[in-house]
Amino acid sequence: MRRADIARLQTDSLPIRNHGGSPVRLLRTAFDYLVYLMVRALILIVQAIPLSLLTALTGGLARLFADVLRVRRRVAEENLALAFPGTSPEVIADTIRRMWEHLFLMVCEIAHSSRVIHETNWRRFIRLNGVRPLVKLLLEDRPVILVTGHFGNFEIGGYLLGMLGFPTHTVARTLDNRFLDRFLNRFRGATGQFIIPKNGGHRQIEETVERGGTLALLADQDAGRKGCFVPFFGRPASTFKALALLSLEYDAPLAVVYVKRLDRPMTFEMGVQAILDPRNLADHSPRAAVEHITRWYTSELEAIVRSAPEQYWWIHRRWKTQPKVGRESAGRPAADCPEHRAA
């Protein structure tokens, strides 16, 4: 273990002091810290193993999780059957296996990235696709909203943008284990990425766009009953309206972006799928504009997923919430986007 790693462990080892907390809380803190130490030790081991060997190991782990332990197998099977109707069970099983391999490889890439990819050599690992219009927007005074999903190595995306001189404010869920959360956010912030907590970060989000900053969000999770229902792989999916509302309220262009792994580990295509300027929706009513934007970015995310289905997180219950059926919803369109203000 390197001296710097030991120093970081010592810096983080402040957890189990009794500040009047209950025994249950202290026990939970001790357990969380033990898990954190185990994860740190595992990452150090991963960093010591060449990526070429890790690729073989991730294949074995993928078969274990997909075929033996069958972790979230039913959810993944249902999602793939909905997204690709008519696909054979054998193809679905193979896609699930490759998805798990992708997820494990993604963790390995994150562990190695800070030691491998630098300002002087990033072109060896990254291929850019369609980024010129986005760079032009990022150099203007207007805020920009980057929209992506649980596809490819999305964690690398914010890290790379910061390295290239375009730091983002990324909205992310706070991990239940605060030590792991602090550790992950240290990686995220190593090149200038700022993390805004998903819960309770509304004011920080507004401040970011008010001052013309760059906001990044994952926009492919179920939004519950208050979401806007738009098609995702041909099925209504409850989708967050906040991105559309922010874009309209603060005159912020949206860019659907991705980081897709190419033919070998630690090689990526970082690209822009599409860009939408809210100024082009001036003739839309507020409600119609919200629906248009939400439908647009969901469709673009679908196109990205279709390009490499095995690099998508099919273990999320994306279609968990469905529109109500009956008198309450009779005659209403599939995209139900009530009119709101962002503020």
Residue 41 counted as domain residue: no
Has residue 183 been placed in a domain?
A: yes
Q: Report if residue 167 sits inside a domain.
A: yes
Is 248 among the domain residues? yes
- Identify whether 83 is part of a domain: no
- Is residue 188 over pLDDT 80? yes
**306 vs 12, residue with greater confidence:** 306
**What pLDDT score was predicted for residue 339?**
47
Who wins on pLDDT, 14 or 266?
Answer: 266
Q: Which domain holds residue 248?
A: 120-311
Strand 214-218 to 169-172 pairing: parallel
- The closest alpha carbon to 257, from 149, 126, 171, belongs to 149
For residue 138, pLDDT beyond 90: yes
Q: 186 in a domain, yes or no?
A: yes
The whole-number average pLDDT for the span 190-205 is 93
Asked, for residue 221, whether it belongs to a domain, the answer is yes
pTM: 0.88
How buried is residue 272: exposed, middle or buried, by Cβ count under 10 Å (0-12/13-18/19+)? Answer: buried
- 111 near 253, Cβ under 8 Å? no
Higher pLDDT, 334 or 259: 259
Q: How many domains does the chain have?
A: 1
